[in-house]
Structure 1
């Protein structure tokens, strides 16, 4: 895999966001765009990341923004704080909750009413009900808009750097898994690491520890041997499943999937499949088909913008060409990646335009309940540059290929 080029070289996040907002305000004949929520809300986080580059923000001088993957009591408290942001076509206004008796939207609505004529205010569909009431009481009419979600579907150079940083922590975690698996002994088919049977739960812990050491936050996004519906193994444990306690075995595919949050607040997305002491056969054929599908998708997205459905179909066709003809023998999934592990472009008809950063996954069933699964992050840049995958670990089935020399 090559180092992917920047999708939108020279354009800042605030340039991209303000251009999209101005167009939306003009088309919808609205006076402002408003978003309200905590910093756990990805729309708030996206706007605040963009505002780091803006010099025209009223109301933030006394309240530094909290971004990235910080932790600790003061960071957690600040992240729960309610934030109200507005853009009126010229400048931003930011208000923050300062006490239980005040609401930032009340102050924001009064500020907007003082500086502009009342009219339509655009907001995401998920704006809190009490915030909507404050805006209506100030004389504004509310209308929903997905303009920020659409803007987030393409990435700036700075966003790509943050995703690449997250992908580096994912790579570190997956390499730790390969290193551990390459060090195992085999006892009657069971994998043993340092004298103890190696379980999916133990392997996941090793991956997460390495991600943290590399500066990432794994959350609950690391999965060993996910089921076809991608349920995290942590949820299986809470439900009392024994699947994460049964030792891993030789000559069986072991899938490691992770989507950590990097130090810049953005996610990566990576999946690899390992086989310890395999004897070839169906998983080798599946591996050839799956890896070929990634080359085909990169060529497809270099040539033109495509829908999510079209790229998923191309991935599937490449895998099926290697003999996986049963209707349920192949799975593919394409989605955006960024402030959330899964975000637009996501729906079947969504277009993967220039500037998109997407996670592509191909999987083939090699046995009952056993899958070979690989996922990588691809960048579709502007201009004539080739779509390319972010740097990641080897796609080899051999765990030893992960051992850094």
Structure 2
């Protein structure tokens, strides 16, 4: 396993060193290598690639590294056209954002001409300058309809491509630095929650912490405050379930926390460069060792089985990781594919989106640099839910956990 006792800047990590201060400054903004677009154009015999969207489009943010605003803008990549010229990349930035675009965009040109025109029309202008109003252009499936209409009216044939999603699946060293830092901050949020649970005391049918009943919302607020202190935002993704609500995979509501029931925390904040963390642990305060203990043992065994499969490193089929985890769950007497039991896949890719390629249910071989969750779980809407999740990067000869965090059903002060 990787040694995650230090931050990307070389300073000791607060969680593992015992320090109680936020980590140092973030790594630099990752650049984007556009070679995958060159390869896509060459493979399809097309001349250019265009995408249009806003700050909420993760593909566009990956392509441009531009973090705003919530108005459409365009990215245009024009290939060498076989004439020996280098490919060019252009960001058609929105009005009032030229300075930010110049600072963040790693490509060739930030173009401000026509800022009052629709983004699709501005992309056409860039294509016209390079291609003269004729050619075939690759676009992602999610390009806005109006942008596609402008391109087609401009004389360009459109062809759909998954090149961006495929390119995002394998992370660079710069991206991994960002993911590690976000995951370390995520671990700090988990440590805060675990400490609060460890400090809580049963009083009748409720848990009390600092003189008041402990609810999922109260615990969530504590987690989110800790995340903010470490430079990441919760992005509305802090899941805290208690008892039956643990079987709701994305529960963000309010529920009282009682002694003896499972408390499931799935923390997945977003860092300043747009990359996510993802970490899940399940705890029980004052448990009696019943259903929750059996489920916990099964989930621990399933995660170990998945890790054993990942030990093969690059080249292992993603689906075999899921199959081994599911087989272990079944061996402990829990159903697979139904509720109660193991109701979801063992993992998914994480990067600029919280859920992206690859899926651990796919038959494709995993590649070095892919970042995936490993998160088996067992759920029963009448009992509770148990999930354990870690974020790992696939290497040539195995995997590395991006930020270690202990696994215990009984919470401890961290």
Normalised TM-score (structure 2): 0.79
1:309 and 2:319 aligned: yes
Give the aligned partner of residue 69 of structure 2. Answer: 79
Match of 1:219 in 2: 235
Please say if residues 283 and 366 of structure 1, whose CA atoms lie closer than 8 Å, have aligned partners that are also in contact.
Answer: no
Q: Which among 13, 19, 25 is matched to residue 41 of structure 2?
A: 25
- Describe the superposition over 1:268-303 as per-residue Cα deviations: whole angstroms up to 9, x where unpaired: 111110111223244333323322322222221232
2:352, 2:275 → 1: CA distance? 5
Contact 2:193–2:222 under 8 Å retained in 1: yes
Indicate the residue corresponding to 1:172 in structure 2.
188
Residues of 1 paired with 2:320 and 2:343: CA distance?
14
Matched, 1:114 2:129: yes
2:118 is aligned to 103
Looking at both structures, which has the greater relative contact order when contacts are Cα pairs under 8 Å and sequence separation is at least 6? 1
1:282, 1:229 → 2: CA distance? 17
Q: Distance in 1 between matches of 2:91 and 2:381?
A: 55
TM-superposed deviation, 1:13: 5.4
Q: Residue in 2 aligned with 1:239?
A: none
Partner in structure 1 of residue 348 of structure 2: 335
Alignment of 1:214-293 (within 5 A): 214-225=230-241, 226-234=245-253, 244-245=254-255, 247-293=256-302
* Pairwise CA distance, 1:346: 3.0
The residue that corresponds to 2:89 in the other structure is 92
Worse overlay, 197-206 or 79-88: 79-88
Name whichever of 153-162 and 93-102 sits farther off: 93-102
Matched, 1:14 2:15: no
Instruction: Please state how far the C-alpha of 1:19 moved relative to its aligned partner.
Output: 2.3
Moved more, 140-149 or 339-348: 339-348
* DSSP-derived class of the 1:354 partner: coil
**Hey, what does 2:203 align to over in structure 1?**
187
Name the counterpart of 1:55. Answer: none
Q: What is the alpha-carbon distance in structure 1 between the residues aligned to residue 56 and residue 342 of structure 2? A: 35
Q: Give, in whole Å, the separation in 2 of the partners of 1:27 and 1:396.
A: 50
Q: Is the Cα contact below 8 Å between 2:321 and 2:360 reproduced in 1?
A: no
**1:111: how far off?**
2.3
The CA RMSD measured in Å over matched residues stands at: 2.3
In structure 1, the partner of 2:99 is none
Counterpart in the other structure of 2:147: 131
Equivalent residues in 2 for 1:290-301 (5 A)?
290-301=299-310
User: Retained in 1: the 8 A contact 2:247–2:380?
Assistant: no
1:312, distance to aligned residue in structure 2 (A):
1.8
TM-score w.r.t. the length of structure 1 is 0.81
**Alpha-carbon distance in 2 for matches of 1:190, 1:97:** 53
TM-superposition CA deviations, 1:11-38 (whole Å, max 9, x none)? x8533xx222112111211100111111
CA distance in 1, matches of 2:315, 2:53: 33
Runs of 4+ in 1 over 6 A off after TM superposition: none
Match in the other structure for 1:199: 215
1:362 equivalent to 2:361? Answer: no
SS in 1 for 2:236: coil
Change (3 A) 1:322 1:348: closer
Aligned to 1:127, what secondary structure does the other structure show? coil
Contact kept in structure 1, 2:189 and 2:223, CA below 8 Å: yes
Determine if contact 2:240/2:246 at 8 Å carries over to the other structure: no
In structure 2, distance between residues paired with 1:347 and 1:87: 31
Is the Cα–Cα contact under 8 Å of residues 253 and 273 in structure 1 kept in the other structure?
A: yes
1:75 counterpart residue number: none
Report if the CA contact (8 A) 1:208-1:218 is conserved: yes
224-233 vs 169-178, which deviates more? 224-233
Contact 2:329 2:335 in 1 (8 A): no
Partners in 2 of 1:135 and 1:366 — Cα distance? 50
